[in-house]
Amino acid sequence: MSPKTLYDKIWDAHVAHESDDGTCLLYIDRHLVHEVTSPQAFEGLRMAGRKVRAPEKTIAVPDHNVPTTLERLDGIIENEEGRIQVEALDKNAREFGLHYYPMNDVRQGIVHIVGPEQGWTLPGMTVVCGDSHTATHGAFGALAHGIGTSEVEHVLATQTLIQKKSKNMKVEITGKLRPGVTAKDITLAVIGETGTAGGTGYVIEYCGEAIRDLSMEGRMTVCNMAIEGGARAGLIAPDQKTFDYVQGRPHAPKGGQWETALEWWKTLYSDDDAHWDKIVTLKGEEIEPVVTWGTSPEDVLPISAKVPAPSDFEGGKIDAAARSLDYMGLEPGTPLSEIKIDAVFVGSCTNGRIEDFREVAKILKGRKVADGVRMMIVPGSGLVRAQAEEEGLAEIFEEAGAEWRLPGCSMCLAMNPDQLAEHERCASTSNRNFEGRQGYKGRTHLVSPGMAAAAAVTGKLTDVRELV
């Protein structure tokens, strides 16, 4: 048998039909659904008189525009349009018989945090969701990617997607990370290297010692931003850490099925002589804590660097950089570590897991959020929230003067009231620094959780290593 990559193996195990031109029907093992990209899909089903083919493989949870303030516990969503979307999801989940975690269920949270937490996401699976950050689930060695609403409807009706295979790209991070450098720095550094279109047409497999050393939480952070590099999906081969994380979760296999599953999962790795269409290698020890300075996730620099000038770039990027600097209100040559911030956001499907909050608590313990800075900390799920409270992290946050909120996507995309004001500058653990992403004319600097906490304490972008 010819050698295969991990992607090849998962792909081959899910082709339900292949046409002569190579167009395939890829079978989907898990379909995750949220309130923003699904209403039109369910409406389409109704209009055509179609059913959900596999409701037992379909999991729904509202996350994008749920409020994260405490009044939500009374079932209140002030924004009428947001409320209508959440109610539509309630109704659709009930009528079509899906697994559902309603807004005030303790298991509710960001769809990409709930899936792994509940054991829905398992190695070797195909996972899709009407959300680009579905790439997160690739951390388990699952082929996971975002789809549009028409494709959501297609998966609901047929449990398959019409797909052509992507190319294989290997991103290897060799060696060890230095202290203070995290999974977020890895994933941003990779995008800085490849650009936001560098992965277009590929599925990335992340490998190397620095990746193996990461926890499952860290691996999810890395895969989460594969889409920011343009890739269809990011993957990490499952290993003992993966199996340990999965075992015992509510929807993970049990007993004899666990043993059968494990046997297969252990075959899920890229063969030594597998073919790669593109290879990128970064040395782990050379990665520094990074921040973004512009309005594209590829605008990445180490915190020790200075704001670049448009003339540092080539081609279409010259105008784009000039536009970014204008939008961000930054002068070329300014040290990044001198940029003052107004707000800090910790959360999102990129960095909304327990490990992220532990990192933040380490920096905030015994310190205060700087005067004039507001810090919002939003757990990725109700269970993460409960655990952070049990570990005493929430207390540290509140003592430091940060807001500790209910779970949801919150200010990552600011569909709910959690938004930046015009020209407010934010150190954010989320995944996109696009214009207007966190609020109209809001300015976003993407950072790791530790870097976000350090910025909160000093009131400016700061090298976290100065505070540990």
Partner 1 sequence: MEKFEKLSGIAAPMPLVNIDTDMIIPKAFLKTIKRSGLGVNLFDEMRYERDGSEKPDFVLNQPQYRQASILVAGDNFGCGSSREHAPWALKDFGIQAIISTSFADIFFNNCFKNGILPIVLPQDQVDVLMKDAEKGANARIEIDLENQTITASDGESFSFEVDEFKKHCLLNGLDDIGLTMEKAASIDLFEAKSGAERPWV
Of 151-159, 168-176, 383-391, 442-450, the window that binds partner 1 (rule: CB under 8 A) is: 151-159
- 403 token code pair: 């807001």
**CA–CA gap between residue 353 and residue 155 (Å, rounded):** 28
Among 6, 413, 426, 452, binds partner 1 (CB under 8 A): 413
Among 68, 159, 444, 448, binds partner 1 (CB under 8 A): 159
Q: Which is nearer to partner 1, 38 or 221 (CB)?
A: 38
The kind and range of the H/E element at 292 are strand 290-292
Helix/strand/coil for 331: coil
84 lines the binding site for partner 1 (CB under 8 A): yes
Question: CA 415 → CA 270, 319, 354, 370, distances in Å?
Answer: 39, 29, 24, 27
Work out whether the CA dihedral 111, 116, 117, 118 comes out positive or negative. positive
- 349 token code pair: 């499907």
Give the alpha-carbon dihedral of 283, 284, 290, 296, to 10 degrees: 60
Q: Minimum Å distance from CB 106 to partner 1?
A: 25
The kind and range of the H/E element at 202 are strand 202-207
Residues 111-130 binding partner 1 (CB under 8 A) are 122, 124-125, 130
Q: Minimum Å distance from CB 264 to partner 1?
A: 7
- Strands (E) in 350-424, as ranges, are 374-377, 403-404
Q: Minimum Å distance from CB 21 to partner 1?
A: 5
154 lines the binding site for partner 1 (CB under 8 A): yes
Q: Tell me the one-letter amino acid at 233.
A: A
243 lines the binding site for partner 1 (CB under 8 A): no
- Report DSSP letters for 8-22, one per residue: HHHHHTTEEEE-TTS
How many of the other CB atoms lie within 10 Å of CB of 225?
26
Residues 438-467 binding partner 1 (CB under 8 A) are 440
Among 6, 61, 147, 411, binds partner 1 (CB under 8 A): 147
Among 76, 162, 386, 468, binds partner 1 (CB under 8 A): 162
- Report DSSP letters for 280-296, one per residue: EEEEGGG---EEE-SSS
Q: Which is nearer to partner 1, 182 or 433 (CB)?
A: 433
Q: Minimum Å distance from CB 91 to partner 1?
A: 11
Residues 35-64 binding partner 1 (CB under 8 A) are 36-37, 39-40, 43, 48, 50, 53, 57, 64
Among 63, 117, 151, 217, binds partner 1 (CB under 8 A): 151
79 lines the binding site for partner 1 (CB under 8 A): yes
Among 414, 426, 446, 455, binds partner 1 (CB under 8 A): 414
Q: Which residues does residue 27 pair with via DSSP β-bridges, in sequence order?
A: 160
Q: Tell me the one-letter amino acid at 66.
A: V
Q: Minimum Å distance from CB 116 to partner 1?
A: 15
Q: Show the binding pattern over residues 182-221: x = contacts partner 1 (CB under 8 A), - = does not.
A: --------------xx--xx--------------------
Classify the phi-psi angles of 211: left when phi > 0, otherwise alpha if psi is within -120 to 50, otherwise beta. Answer: alpha
Q: CB of 357 within 8 A of CB of 384?
A: yes
Residues 420-439 binding partner 1 (CB under 8 A) are 432, 434-437
Q: Show the binding pattern over residues 329-358: x = contacts partner 1 (CB under 8 A), - = does not.
A: ------------------------------
Residues 261-280 binding partner 1 (CB under 8 A) are 261, 264
69 lines the binding site for partner 1 (CB under 8 A): no
230 lines the binding site for partner 1 (CB under 8 A): yes
Q: Show the binding pattern over residues 294-333: x = contacts partner 1 (CB under 8 A), - = does not.
A: --x-x----------------xxx-xx--x----------
160 lines the binding site for partner 1 (CB under 8 A): yes
Q: How many helices (H) and strands (E) does the chain have?
A: 15, 19
17 lines the binding site for partner 1 (CB under 8 A): yes
- 33 token code pair: 């659904």
Q: Minimum Å distance from CB 73 to partner 1?
A: 22
Q: CB of 409 within 8 A of CB of 109?
A: no
Q: Minimum Å distance from CB 76 to partner 1?
A: 17
68 lines the binding site for partner 1 (CB under 8 A): no
386 lines the binding site for partner 1 (CB under 8 A): no
**Residue 444: closest CA among 457, 458, 425:** 425
**CA–CA gap between residue 215 and residue 358 (Å, rounded):** 13
Among 69, 158, 174, 337, binds partner 1 (CB under 8 A): 158
**CA–CA gap between residue 241 and residue 218 (Å, rounded):** 12
Q: Minimum Å distance from CB 195 to partner 1?
A: 8
- 302 token code pair: 């180490």
**CA–CA gap between residue 14 and residue 162 (Å, rounded):** 12
